[in-house]
Chain A
Amino acid sequence: MIDISDIKLSNAQIAWRAAQDIQDGAYVNLGIGFPEMVASYQPEGREVIFHTENGVLGFGAAPAPGEEDWDLINAGKKAITQKPGTSFFHHADSFAMVRGGHLDVAILGAYQIAQNGDLANWSTGKGGIPAVGGAMDLVQSAKRVAVVTDHITKKGDPKLVESCTMPLTGVGCVTRIYSSLAVVDIANNRFVLREKIPAISLDDLQALTGAELYTNEGVDDLICPEDLL
């Protein structure tokens, strides 16, 4: 199997690519950790309103160290700031925004994504203590659910699979995957390859993917800024 360690996109590059698809005026929820990086790469001239499920819309960047106000945090329990246009609300309202279909985009991480759009990202199913947070609400009800992820696991197993073997977060919910090698849509229960990095061949990409990649609608080069590490 080919070694992709030198050619795959960095997390910052994946986040940059995901950010390009977020339209001006969109209401967006970013998962804890890697997906939060998407906020750093909004194209100039677009105003995106970020939602954090603990009860803030339109928050600002992290404060300088020492200036944290611990009443003002995001879903990852990290300090954030308010800015003109920020609003606060309680948890039932926050999840009415989610469940009621008011969020335009949710971007999450993934353990596995199946070709029918099933997502597993909350429990490896190997014991340990389960923790779900707001993921099951977000994936079932945001207007568009996308995933940012490495294309394969650290062990080299595909994360894009025929059907998930890990416990599901939601069924048939993901419509686009931004991976370290490609941009893949899910349509009609199959993976449709939209873009791939030029450094990998179609055959090698298919070998690293656990279900068939459909390419008959044309595949573009996935080019990200080089200086994002």
Chain B
Amino acid sequence: MDITVATPREVIQQIPDGATVMIGGFGGSGAPIELVHALIDHGAKHLTVVNNNAGNGHVGLAALIEQGQVDKLICSFPRSADPTVFVEAYKANKIALEIVPQGTLAERIRCGGAGIPAFYTPTAYGTEVAEGKPVEEFEGRPYIRERWLKADYALIKGDVGDRHGNMTYRMAARNFNPIMATAAKVTIAQVSRVVDAGGIDPEHVVTPGIFVNHLVEIANPAQEEELNRAEAVYP
């Protein structure tokens, strides 16, 4: 078994128009910039994107929105140091926004990957985010029902991966990546280093290979923060 591929392009090009795509990362930390840029090059349109944020500057997710490829964004916090691209698209009614509290977003994704269609959470009870959602009391406290969230594709970023797709992450760049890997029909991962099976101590594996379909090595991946400090624009 060897799920590694040489370039992002050869696997990203299978993503069709209209797909739902989860993109890992929290701000720039753990954002799979090279995979997102390959998606821009590929040009799939009318995408629904799931990410914690809404892009920053003119690279990565912001660039994908700037290219007009995203019809809808599901996120918790569409603000950043430079949210211009999203703000302009939103005000021009070019992009729909579904705001989800961050923990609810994470749990919806986790449930999507774990085969749990709905769950109850105390988060957002009594707020406008809960409007229209079923409420039930457990042990005297009200909870709202939320549904799982699944995707056609997940684009994620790790640190080390082996040819089976077992992966590790680097510090806070872990964030949404491991749960998104579980919640998509097809998970495409970029890692800084690909090793042979056995190259990762099994005790250190965070994402077991069963959740990963394609793995590509991007040595020295770009950091969104550094690209933005250099005022980079993609493409």
Q: Are A56 and B101 in contact (CB under 8 A)?
A: no
Q: Are A133 and B226 in contact (CB under 8 A)?
A: no
Measured CA separation A77–B229 after assembly (Å): 14
Measured CA separation A137–B126 after assembly (Å): 13
Known: A92-B110, A136-B123, A137-B123. Is A98-B29 also a contact (CB below 8 A)?
no
Looking at the complex, which one of B79, B169, B175 makes contact with A54 (CB distance below 8 Å)? B175
Q: Are B103 and A71 in contact (CB under 8 A)?
A: no
A72 neighbours in B (Cβ, 8 Å): 29, 171-172
Within 8 A of B (CB), among A164-213: 167-171
Q: Quick one: CB contact mask for B138-173 with A, threshold 8 Å, 1 for yes?
A: 000000000000000000000000000000011111
Q: Are B30 and A137 in contact (CB under 8 A)?
A: no
Known: A72-B172, A141-B123. Is A77-B81 also a contact (CB below 8 A)?
yes
Q: Are A134 and B110 in contact (CB under 8 A)?
A: no
Query: Which stretch (A82-90, A153-161, A214-222) binds chain B?
Result: A82-90
Q: Are B109 and A92 in contact (CB under 8 A)?
A: yes
Q: Are B171 and A136 in contact (CB under 8 A)?
A: no
Q: Are B174 and A55 in contact (CB under 8 A)?
A: yes
Q: Looking across the interface, which residue of chain A has its beta carbon closest to that of B76?
A: A133
Q: Quick one: CB contact mask for A27-54 with B, threshold 8 Å, 1 for yes?
A: 0000000000000000000000000111
Q: Quick one: CB contact mask for A70-98 with B, threshold 8 Å, 1 for yes?
A: 11111001001010000011111011001
Does A99 have its Cβ within 8 Å of any Cβ on chain B? Answer: yes
Within 8 A of A (CB), among B48-104: 52, 76-81, 86-87, 90, 97, 99-104
Min C-beta distance of B202 to chain A, whole Å: 18
Work out how many contacts link A and B, with CB atoms closer than 8 A.
149
Within 8 A of B (CB), among A51-71: 52-56, 68-71
Q: Does more than half of chain A's interface fall in helix, strand or loop, or is it mixed?
A: loop
Query: Which stretch (A3-11, A13-21, A105-113, A124-132) binds chain B?
Result: A124-132
Looking at the complex, which one of B76, B87, B122, B179 makes contact with A141 (CB distance below 8 Å)? B122
Known: A69-B171, A70-B223, A168-B127. Is A137-B102 also a contact (CB below 8 A)?
yes
Known: A54-B26, A71-B170. Is A99-B109 also a contact (CB below 8 A)?
no
A129 neighbours in B (Cβ, 8 Å): 78-79, 86-87, 90, 97
9 A-B pairs with least C-beta separation: A95-B103, A137-B103, A171-B126, A91-B106, A134-B102, A92-B110, A136-B101, A71-B173, A133-B77
What are some 5 contacts across the A-B interface (CB < 8 A)?
Answer: A91-B175, A95-B107, A131-B76, A136-B124, A136-B129
Please report A residues at the B interface, Cβ cutoff 8 Å.
52-56, 68-74, 77, 80, 82, 88-92, 94-95, 98-99, 118, 129-137, 140-141, 167-171
Please report B residues at the A interface, Cβ cutoff 8 Å.
26-30, 52, 76-81, 86-87, 90, 97, 99-107, 109-110, 121-129, 169-179, 206, 223-226
